[in-house]
Amino acid sequence: MQKTIERIAGDSEGVAYEFPVFRFEGTDKSAPSAYLQAALHAGELPGVVAIDALMPMLAKAEAEGRIRDAITLVPWANPIGRAQYHFGEHQGRFNLGTRTNFNRAFPLLAAPDARLLADVNLGGADRRLKKRLVELSLGNDIVLDLHCDDEGLAYLYIHTSLWPHMADCAAAMGIDAVLLWSEDSSGTFEGASIMPYQNVPASVARFDRRVVTTVEYRGMLDVDSSLAASDAAGLYRLLVTRGVIRDPSVPKASSFSGAVVPLENIEMMPSPKAGAILYDVKPGDRVNKGDRLATIVHAPGEAGGRTEVFAPQSGFILTRRSRRIIRAGEDLLKLAGDKRSADARSGTLED
Ligand SMILES: [Zn+2]
């Protein structure tokens, strides 16, 4: 295994950002290669500790000559966000200087060719970081971007061109649900990893062996050693299932038994009022149309000071907020509906 340090120039003299990249070289270039990154939203740590738990498994496979093609790991993908504290609170989702979401504004190339990337020397540190992450990941058969939600189930975003080819991966990882999306106009990392393959010859796109996904490893607080171990085991199983690592002791993943939901079916449930949230439901709960999902206490102690929110259709709760204060219009939860949402947000990725 080789460790290298990547360096991203900051936006003023004397400032630079660094992050490590770990690379296991394989012995069989015909096998698929893999790229894993975590904490692009810098405070989302379940994937960081999953990679930490995965490393000894990869080191063992390497020592035993079982790594077939290269595996690249970036456990802290966002050193800019990692260093952002605002009045003592960590802010890892948006670049404080530009208000840009760290998982937006990635370049969406017309083909999987890093030479098409624009020069970003004067583009800002976050753009330089994004360009470098695309350079590191592009061309790998398997690209996993490990995130988490506020509170939630374990779920994957997958582009429709890769489904159901990737059902074995979802099964290997032990994921609860898969969200299928089709459009990316905002430039998520996942979009930057799959859109370049949409208009190239099938022999290059290879959707049968390509794996690209944003992994939502439950919630922000789901960071502990047993989840890290089971998530690492799931990642390892995926790498074995797809032939990156040879390991006859790993049983073949059974078929995927979780939910598969088109993004158009997701109900985001904006809060009608600002206030304190009393949830009636938690991630994983099944709900029927008309069930109460939450009560917003916006004028405590006053008549009419509570507003209830009901399920617009039947489905299950995918995520909810981890904090209980909310402003009007902010999303209370994600309800994975059984059918298309009446106000579907056009099928784009939400992470
Ligand atoms: Zn995220």
Query: What is the per-residue pLDDT for 264?
Result: 95
Nearest Cα neighbor of 157 from 145, 168, 165 is 145
* CA 144 to ligand 1 center in whole angstroms: 12
* CA 74 to ligand 1 center in whole angstroms: 15
Question: How many angstroms separate the Cα of 264 from the Cα of each of 158, 170, 231, 337?
Answer: 13, 20, 28, 9
* CA 30 to ligand 1 center in whole angstroms: 32
* CA 9 to ligand 1 center in whole angstroms: 23
Query: What is the per-residue pLDDT for 269?
Result: 95
* CA 128 to ligand 1 center in whole angstroms: 19
* CA 217 to ligand 1 center in whole angstroms: 10
- pTM exceeding 0.85: yes
* CA 28 to ligand 1 center in whole angstroms: 33
* CA 1 to ligand 1 center in whole angstroms: 27
**How far apart are alpha carbons 127 and 349 in whole angstroms?**
20
* CA 42 to ligand 1 center in whole angstroms: 8
* CA 184 to ligand 1 center in whole angstroms: 16
pLDDT in tens for each of the 351 residues of the chain?
999 999 999 999 999 999 999 999 999 999 999 999 999 999 999 999 999 999 999 999 999 999 999 999 999 999 999 999 999 999 999 999 999 999 999 999 999 999 999 999 998 999 999 999 999 999 999 999 999 999 999 999 999 999 999 999 999 999 999 999 999 989 999 999 999 999 999 999 999 999 999 999 999 999 999 999 999 999 999 999 999 999 999 988 789 999 999 999 999 999 999 999 999 999 999 999 999 999 999 999 999 999 999 999 999 999 999 999 999 999 999 999 999 999 866 555 677
* CA 182 to ligand 1 center in whole angstroms: 19
Nearest Cα neighbor of 128 from 115, 137, 118 is 118
